[in-house]
Structure formats: C-alpha cells, structure tokens
Amino acid sequence: MTRRVGVDIGGTSIKAGLVDTRRGSLVGAARRVRTPRPATPGAVAAAVDDLIGPLAADHEVGCGFPGVVRKGITATAANLHPDWIGTDAQSLLSGLLQGQRVAIINDADAAGRGSGPSIVEADECR
C-alpha cells in the first residue's frame, strides 16, 4: 500500500490528507479544522473522525501528536486538555475509525521520520 492518511493534531488546528508514501507528497488537498475547545480526548478524536472518516476506511492512519507518546499512550499534552495525559490515543482513534490501523507518535518525531520509514510503521518507536 503506498497511500496512507496523515493527521497532524495541533493546539489550534487539526490537519489531514491522503499521502503517497512512495513520493512523499499529498494526493489532493489537505483538509483542516479548528481544534475543539476544550480539547479533550473525546472532542479531538471526534473531530479527527469527522475529518478523515471516509478516507480512513480504505487506508492506514499515521498521526502526529503535540506531546510525548509511548506505545500509543500520551504522556504529556502540550496545548491540549490535561485529560490527554495517560490516554490510550491509539486505541481511542482506532476505535472511532472502525478498527482501522492507527499509529500515533510525537509530531516532531513524525516530521523527523518524514524521509524515513512510514509513520504507520512507528510501532517500533518507543
């Protein structure tokens, strides 16, 4: 599979698009919504689902998160609600996306891996 959905959760907006992982470029236009306030896990996950739901049905999802993430669990939550701390974000998003495979890592780590292995292979990042 050479296409995956990329998601960037941020303190002010959530961005997403379909990415050709071989070429490292977007396929079509990226979409963007404002991060809900308060930015609780449920509210942000629902916004991600609304943003990428149809795309995620056919593609794996890689997600950058503005905080420390270990094995899918968020340990910090810069610019988001403190309820994110200790949340199993990977399971939360996967559950909303009908069990689709989701990988979630720190957004800076995701940017650094942009020219390396796929973010969906980030299960190895611990």
Output the pLDDT for position 116.
Answer: 45
What is the pLDDT, as a whole number, of residue 41? 98
Q: What pLDDT is attached to residue 114?
A: 64
SS3 33: strand
Q: Can you tell me the distance from the alpha carbon of 77 to that of 3, in angstroms, rounded to the nearest whole number?
A: 28
The residue ranges of the chain whose pLDDT is under 50 are 115-126
pLDDT of 48 reads 96
Comparing CA positions, the residue from 13, 102, 107 lying closest to residue 55 is: 102
> Do residues 8 and 15 lie in contact, with contact meaning Cβ atoms separated by under 8 Å?
yes
**CA distances from residue 31 to 7, 48, 68, 90 in whole angstroms, order as listed:** 10, 11, 24, 21
Which pLDDT score, from 0 to 100, does residue 126 have?
Answer: 32
pLDDT value at residue 1: 57
pLDDT at 16: 94
What is the pLDDT, as a whole number, of residue 49? 93
Q: Which two tokens stand for residue 54?
A: 């149809």
Domain boundaries, the chain: 3-124
Predicted confidence at residue 115, as pLDDT, reads: 47
CATH number, span 3-124: 3.30.420.40
Cα 120 from chain centroid (whole Å)? 10
Whole-number Å distance between alpha carbons of 40 and 37? 8
Kindly report the backbone phi and psi dihedral angles of residue 73, in degrees, each rounded to the nearest multiple of 5, phi listed first: -105, 130
Amino acid (1-letter code) at residue 56 = A
For residue 59, what are its two tokens?
A: 């593609």
**Predicted TM-score of the model (pTM):** 0.86
Q: Would you state the pLDDT for residue 112?
A: 77
Radius of gyration of the chain (CA): 13
